[in-house]
Amino acid sequence: MSLQMKVPAVGESITEVTIAAWNKNDGDTVAMDEVICELESDKATFEVTAEVAGKLIIKAQEGDSLEIGAVLCEIEEGAGVQEAENDEAEEVADSISAEPAKPTGEVLEMKVPAVGESIAEVTISNWSKSDGDFVELDEVIAEIESDKATFDLTAEAQGNLQIIANEGDTLEIGALICKIEVVEGAAPSSSTDQTQASESTTLESQSSKDTYATGHASPAAKKILDEKGIDASSVSGSGKDGRITKSDAVEAKKAEPVPTPLAEASKPAFAPPQIQTGVSRVQTREKMSSLRKTVSRRLVSVKNETAMLTTFNEVNMQPIMDLRKKYKEQFKEKYEVGLGFMSFFTKACTMALKEWPAVNGQIDGEELVFSDYCDVSIAVSTPKGLVVPVIRNAESLSFHQIEKEVVRLATKARDGKLSIDEMQGGTFTITNGGIFGSMLSTPIINAPQSAILGMHNIVERPVVENGQVVVRPIMYVALSYDHRIIDGRESVSFLVRVKQLLEDPTRLLIGV
């Protein structure tokens, strides 16, 4: 009996997903609830787990785009697979004792294969199997990296794995990686597999369990963290029992759970070079996370597929700063949330969006979609990358509701707890590069939206008012927009309108 597994409905507006990776190979035996593949929508990535235990037959390949409901794979529920029911389990036990796996006494040595002409050595990036594990023929047992690519190492025989080279070891072509004590006959049933799996989980969970010393910084590490202003609790320690070592502290970066310009994300994905004493030529390589892959793919596609350009203006922030100064305390006391700039910008944008609906619109194939509401996306930089949670119906929220929503979403974003629902469906985006000190930037549209407002830093600049040069706190604002749907008149007028509303916030109140 085989069960067809289909692409699940993952979110309201998501009609299509891409297979990011298969964690299992065609023909592998999978356990129920085991993660078998990773899917990506344009919002997020999620994992698909096996609905039953059995043999996996893959129907769609990595990189394929599938509609919701399309067939992903089939799982053959067959003998040798433990079912939840006890009687069947007993049968399985019988079949095992009837046909035991036999060690042959032969030990197969596995060596680093030649992987490319100019490649002389490789590094073991990780073992997917542990020492002593039972491995099947062709099962992936390790991931190997050369300076050109990474590839999987598969078992050349069925049997018990003896690991010789450790993770991080660099080996020459032909060097010994591991040995397999060859075992003939049927693979141990999945019940054995499960026992082994559960045993190894217990061991792992013991070793990775938090102890009283988890997160304790060594003397040198503590000094470095204090100087960086990083709380030890935000650093994950690589030392024994999670102790924070000096190198953990050297590499630790301050988490910034705050809005960031979308343009920021187009920088290369490698970690910034570590500042070290002396001259260094060290480069580090790490795998792109699924989130980073999604972000990078989408940003490039927006650049290629829209007619994007940017219009600029400047805003005298003095009136808002005065207003904030005057009511900051009262606002905080009454609503238990600070009065920031975000509420002013969000309100000003929603009012301007009402007047210039094209800026709030989107292109969907041959049609234009205009929304009656303003769902404002806020770009937030998190330790894992950029996310864009949405403030729903921002046009009908009051200042304190907006401020609270910003705090709530930013906190969830930082903790990586945003749901897909909270990230999808925005009609317009605001990004603030000013908090990092950006003077001016051209943000990239958050597709399928058509426009994005970029906020920047506030700098005292000389401006002319009534024929006099005076010093005012000025913020440059930028609106990137899709010229296919928004005309120059609309975009420029929108931005001018935002400027007017911010420079005279009384207008927000009376709607003129």
Partner 1 sequence: MDYQVAVIGSGPGGYVAAIRCAQLGMKTAIIEKYDTLGGTCLNVGCIPSKALLDSSEHFHAASHTFKEHGIDINAPKVNLKQMIARKADVVKQNVEGVDFLMKKNKIDVLHGVGSFVDPHTIQVVGKESKKITAEKIIIATGSKPANLPFVELDKDRVITSTEALELKEVPKHLIIIGGGVIGMELGSVYGRLGAKVTVVEFLDRIIPGMDSTMGKELQKSLKGLGFEFHLGHKVTEVKRSGKTVTVKAEDKAGKIIEVKGDYCLVSIGRKPYTAELGLDAAGVKVDERGRVEVDNHLKTNVDHIYAIGDVVKGAMLAHKAEEEGVFVAESIAGQKPHINYNLIPGVVYTWPEVASVGYTEELLKEQGRAFKTGKFPYKALGRARASMDTEGLVKILADKETDEILGVHICGARAADMIATGVTAMEYRASAEDIARMSHAHPTYMEAFKEAALAATENRPIHM
C-alpha to C-alpha distance for 38 and 49, rounded to whole angstroms: 9
272 binds partner 1 (CB under 8 A): no
365 binds partner 1 (CB under 8 A): no
| Among the listed residues 196, 218, 318, 371, the single contact to partner 1 using CB under 8 A | 218
From 147, 226, 415, 487, the catalytic residue: 487
Q: Is the peptide bond before 448 cis (omega within 30 degrees of 0)?
A: yes
240 binds partner 1 (CB under 8 A): yes
Give the shortest CB-218-to-partner 1 separation in angstroms. 6
172 binds partner 1 (CB under 8 A): no
Give the chain's length: 512
213 binds partner 1 (CB under 8 A): yes
Radius of gyration of the chain (CA): 28
243 binds partner 1 (CB under 8 A): yes
487 is catalytic: yes
| Among the listed residues 55, 222, 332, 408, the single contact to partner 1 using CB under 8 A | 222
| Among the listed residues 59, 111, 179, 216, the single contact to partner 1 using CB under 8 A | 216
| Among the listed residues 148, 209, 223, 297, the single contact to partner 1 using CB under 8 A | 223
Phi and psi at 216, nearest 5°, equal -80, 125
Helices 341-355 and 399-414: crossing angle in degrees, nearest 10, is: 110
Nearer to partner 1, 222 or 392 (CB): 222
C-alpha to C-alpha distance for 427 and 422, rounded to whole angstroms: 13
Nearer to partner 1, 227 or 465 (CB): 227
In 317-434, DSSP assigns E strands to 362-364, 367-369, 376-378, 380-382, 385-387, 390-391, 428-432
Contact 79, 95 (CB under 8 A): yes
Stretch that binds partner 1, among 137-145, 214-222, 356-364, 497-505 (CB under 8 A): 214-222
For residue 20, what are its two tokens? Answer: 């990011």
209 binds partner 1 (CB under 8 A): no
For residue 40, what are its two tokens? Answer: 């990506």
For residue 211, what are its two tokens? Answer: 């102890």
Nearer to partner 1, 212 or 364 (CB): 212
Those residues whose C-beta lies under 8 Å from the C-beta of residue 152, and which sit 6 or more positions away, are 140, 142, 143, 144
246 binds partner 1 (CB under 8 A): no
Helices 399-414 and 318-335: crossing angle in degrees, nearest 10, is: 80
How many residues interact with partner 1 (rule CB under 8 A)?
Answer: 13
From 94, 152, 169, 483, the catalytic residue: 483
Look at residue 373 and give its three-state secondary structure.
coil
211 binds partner 1 (CB under 8 A): yes
Stretch that binds partner 1, among 20-28, 197-205, 221-229, 281-289 (CB under 8 A): 221-229
111 binds partner 1 (CB under 8 A): no
42 is catalytic: no
Contact 449, 377 (CB under 8 A): yes
Nearer to partner 1, 59 or 246 (CB): 246
C-alpha to C-alpha distance for 363 and 371, rounded to whole angstroms: 12
226 binds partner 1 (CB under 8 A): yes
Catalytic residue positions? 483, 487
**What residues line the site for partner 1 (CB under 8 A)?**
211-213, 216, 218-219, 222-223, 226-227, 239-240, 243
